[in-house]
Amino acid sequence: MVEYSAPKNTLHDLGYKIFLDRYAQKDVTRATLAVGDTVIVVVDGQTGQREVGTVTAMNLPEVTIELLDGEVVTRELAQVDKPLETDPAQMMARVARGIAGVEATAELREQWAERFRWLLDDFKFVPAGRILAAAGTDQALTFYNCYVIPSPSDSRNGIIETLRQMTEIMSRGGGVGINISSLRPRHAYVRGVNGRSSGAVSWGALYSFVTGLIEQGGSRRGALMLILNDWHPDVFDFINSKREAGKITNANISVGVSDKLMDAIKADADWELVFPDTTAPEYDAHWDGDLDAWTAAGYPVVHHQTVKARELWNALIESAWASAEPGVWFRERANKMSNSHYFHSLIATNPCVTGDTLIYTDS
């Protein structure tokens, strides 16, 4: 195991690769690339896996690189990135200056930069990854890792507007969560064009496809979480979508699970798959994906199917065992634990992992 940087800012192999790949500033033109430079190189074109290495020869447009494990690879120049920061201390200095840059005078900026630098040193405090990547640069990146955007309006314009928001956020480095329960189910009638809807899952697949096209902030693919609530008529299709080749390949998916469903499972009761009546006069103006608010207002719903609650639960479990997805997101529990419940209810989460999450490994 190799150590990098001064002792108190030491990173080992994996941490060093993450630092270089995700957070270090790069020579995007590769104009300064030379033999002896430390680089990040794509070693697997299919998965996009990248590794750290040292340039040993250049015969442009090809570059020969010796990886940390001793393997030698030759790649096209476009698959090689040269970090301009090769020591975490350089990144820390940049971030400290960037955060202090809002102060009014040069003296205050210097004082606060020193304070922030002390805090960052030795990883006493580690800001979110987007702060590490963006602070102190002239790039139009976000300082926020995580976003949940409103459910798409159930119209062509609404679906595309959500796609636009998602694309803008991801291109600047943010991960996005979307609850697509607002979208009418498959085969539902679409007024105005005398057609039928392809369903919520198909539009989720569109969001997933575009996510795969985006390189976040110059270093990683977009990150997307799709959620569909347990009452939606397309929920079985959604549960199995990750098991169908090519359907949803660039997003994580979770079912929004309600207390009502869990109670119905315990009681071995029936479960109704419903959706608002899309012909109701109030639909376009008032439907936003919140079924409880819709029914509380007395607006009509259409009953699409009655299943056993346990059948839905078993389908979810079977798919999770087979493909590791979908996950579950307990809607009421999330809102009960939210410290912002009094001004906005939570409708989704985004693709993120907390520091205490257990990750399965071979060891």
Q: What is the CATH number of domain 146-337?
A: 3.20.70.20
Q: What is the per-residue pLDDT for 355?
A: 65
The DSSP line for 90-145 is HHHHHHHHHHHTTSSSHHHHHHHHHHHHHHHGGGSS---HHHHHHTTSSS---S-S
Give the span between the Cα atoms of 31 and 352, in whole angstroms.
Answer: 35
State CA 167 to chain mean position distance: 11
Q: Could you write out the three-class secondary structure of 180-242?
A: CCCCCCCCCEECCCCEECCCHHHHHHHHHHHHHHCEECCCEECCEEEEEECCCCCHHHHHCHH
Q: What is the per-residue pLDDT for 77?
A: 95
pLDDT tens digits, one per residue of 265-274: 999 999 999 9
For the chain, give every domain's residue range.
26-83, 88-134, 146-337
Looking at 3.40.50.920, 3.90.105.10, 3.40.50.2300, 2.30.30.140, the CATH number of the domain 26-83 comes to 2.30.30.140
Q: What is the per-residue pLDDT for 1?
A: 42
Q: What is the per-residue pLDDT for 262?
A: 97
8 Å CB contact between 179 and 204? no
Q: What is the per-residue pLDDT for 222?
A: 81
The one-digit pLDDT tens for each residue of the chain (363 residues) are 445 555 677 888 888 999 999 999 999 899 999 999 999 999 998 888 899 999 999 999 999 999 999 999 999 999 999 999 999 999 999 999 999 999 999 999 999 999 999 999 999 999 999 999 999 999 888 999 999 999 999 999 999 999 999 999 999 989 999 999 999 999 877 776 667 888 999 999 999 999 988 865 555 678 899 999 999 999 999 999 998 877 898 999 999 999 999 999 999 999 999 999 999 999 999 999 999 999 999 999 999 999 999 999 999 999 999 989 999 999 999 999 999 888 888 999 988 766 667 766 665
b/e burial code for range 267-289 (CB count within 10 A of at least 16 → b): eeeebebbbbebebeebeeebeb
The DSSP line for 341-360 is TTT-------S---TT----
Tell me which residue has tokens 């630092």.
19
Residue among 77, 84, 81, 86 at smallest CA distance from 19: 86
8 Å CB contact between 85 and 94? yes
Contacts of 149 (CB under 8 A, 6+ apart): 162, 165, 166, 169, 176, 177, 178
